[in-house]
A and B are shown apart, each in its own frame.
Chain A
């Protein structure tokens, strides 16, 4: 069975400082992993996707995530936070090729302090 755990429900960082949003997953197979972002009053938008081609995945808006199989983690990072990054971020595990399941994490709300 698959599962995904976002370790922090809220993260606050100052503008210009690094961002780290943590995600751990569990999967019986080799999953696809994603990060989605949801800005206030908007739908979810894909940030980046991992599918085993490379462990470090670059996404939009300067975000990237590293797949670490030994740690079953897929943490999202950005070197320097911008005010426009304030949003909710969802880690997602998918195995639609096998049991057709897509599991969303509970979300992490990122606050950017001026």
Chain B
């Protein structure tokens, strides 16, 4: 199985900050990398698919980049509603489609 490693595991930031979360795959997944946001007690929400494509309805302050094994999610100008847990997910050709362990973004 492809292992996905996110860093950091947790992050404190302030409203208005720019933050970056990284995700590394144990082997090349080309650009088959998706990012989700999850708030407590809620289902995840798709933010970015195919490494860099913004899902419809997601604010433009969210962006993704990377290919191969190394990927980043960037949030510019953090808003209060952005404090949540973020997961990366690989969807390379062979299941299982594995997730990173999550990054908890907290208010400083």
Please indicate whether A and B come from the same complex rather than being unrelated chains: no
B residues contacting A by CB (< 8 A) are: none
